[in-house]
Amino acid sequence: MSLIGSLEEFKVGDVLRLLASGRKSGALTVERSAGPPAVLYLQKGAIVNASCGSLAGEHVVLQLFGWRDGQLSFVPDDRPVPPNVNRSVEALIADGLKVGETLHKVFALIPSDKAVFQWGAGPADESLTLPVGHSEWRVLRLVDGLRDVREVVAHAGLPRDQALRVLADFLEAGFLEKVELVRSLRVQAQGLFGKDTAELDSRLEAEWRRIQRFAQGVVRVEVRTLKGRSAAFAASFRTGLYKDVVLPRQALAELGLAERDEVFVRPVA
């Protein structure tokens, strides 16, 4: 591994131009103190693949221009990799200099398409205002404490980057806040005479009640398996279940579950 240096010493654009001019093949890694590293694969100087945690493609390259710290290293390697970046290095550098700061902020505030937001208490600075025009309203009207980022973007009818920037701006200002809607729980089967409900720990209901949409209580929940199969159940709550969810035996069979399997549970309206 060849250590190039830190982002305080070298600019991302200069490093990419150097590798491009030398027609280098290999992996450029940028590691930081917090968060996953960014890895860019080059073939003969062209960036062909980029990833950073769950993020992949050219957005990884662009948001690197907003990073303030990190160590850069390069490992020569000419093995083929699946391509997810198509544009030239110069085109990526030009866009990165324009939007890198904004994209970095967006991905720091919204790390996953599964994130869910609701209206917050508002900014600490009472004089702070943000404009709400046609585009902003198309995004904000969909924020309800239930829809995740993927659903908001899909229904807003705007380019993905534009919708994410609206969410990030209002999150950063304090007008929106993140909520923890989905829980990972372990399955238990009810007894032979169990109720046709999903039983959950009462502390979980207390947490869900903090979400504005469920302030009056949770009546139904959706249970989703790791393979994507799902079913909705009436919800009941009692103490002592901790991270377990108790389901009817018939439901376990229909969902292809065994006791102690992991499932994802979320309240539904």
Q: Tell me how far apart the alpha carbons of residues 221 and 232 are, in angstroms, rounded to a whole number.
A: 6
Candidates 114, 243, 230, 108; CA nearest to 180 is 114
- My answer on whether 171 and 259 are in the same domain is no
- My answer on whether 175 and 210 are in the same domain is no
pLDDT given for residue 185 in this prediction: 97
Q: How many residues does the chain have?
A: 269
pLDDT given for residue 193 in this prediction: 61
- My answer on whether 159 and 207 are in the same domain is no
Contact yes or no for 187/252 (Cβ under 8 A):
yes
Note whether residue 107 is domain-resident: no
Q: Tell me how far apart the alpha carbons of residues 113 and 169 are, in angstroms, rounded to a whole number.
A: 16
Boundary (domain end) residue, out of 100, 124, 142? 100
Note whether residue 28 is domain-resident: yes
Note whether residue 106 is domain-resident: no
Candidates 183, 213, 180; CA nearest to 198 is 183
- Residues in contact with 32: Cβ distance below 8 Å, sequence separation at least 6, in sequence order: 67, 69, 70, 71
What SS3 state is found at 4? Answer: strand
Contact yes or no for 89/47 (Cβ under 8 A):
yes
- My answer on whether 247 and 192 are in the same domain is yes
- My answer on whether 120 and 164 are in the same domain is yes
Contact yes or no for 24/42 (Cβ under 8 A):
yes
| Amino acid (1-letter code) at residue 26 | G
- My answer on whether 162 and 203 are in the same domain is no
- My answer on whether 155 and 223 are in the same domain is no
Candidates 263, 199, 259; CA nearest to 235 is 199
Note whether residue 253 is domain-resident: yes
| Amino acid (1-letter code) at residue 101 | E
Contact yes or no for 2/73 (Cβ under 8 A):
yes
| Amino acid (1-letter code) at residue 98 | K
Q: Tell me how far apart the alpha carbons of residues 169 and 120 are, in angstroms, rounded to a whole number.
A: 13
The model's pTM is 0.70
pLDDT given for residue 194 in this prediction: 59
- My answer on whether 12 and 96 are in the same domain is yes
Provide the residue range defining the domain that includes 68: 2-100
Note whether residue 79 is domain-resident: yes
Q: Tell me how far apart the alpha carbons of residues 185 and 198 are, in angstroms, rounded to a whole number.
A: 12
- My answer on whether 131 and 78 are in the same domain is no
User: Model confidence over 65-81: pLDDT tens digits?
Assistant: 988 889 999 999 988 99
- My answer on whether 128 and 55 are in the same domain is no
- My answer on whether 137 and 91 are in the same domain is no
Boundary (domain end) residue, out of 162, 179, 196? 179
pLDDT given for residue 3 in this prediction: 65
- Helices 149-156 and 160-173 pack at an angle, to 10 degrees, of 120
| Amino acid (1-letter code) at residue 160 | R
pLDDT given for residue 259 in this prediction: 94
- The ranges of the chain with pLDDT < 50 are none
pLDDT given for residue 100 in this prediction: 86
Note whether residue 108 is domain-resident: no
pLDDT given for residue 168 in this prediction: 93
Contact yes or no for 21/13 (Cβ under 8 A):
no
- My answer on whether 18 and 80 are in the same domain is yes
What SS3 state is found at 103? Answer: helix
Boundary (domain end) residue, out of 161, 179, 197? 179
Give the count of domains, the chain: 3
Note whether residue 246 is domain-resident: yes
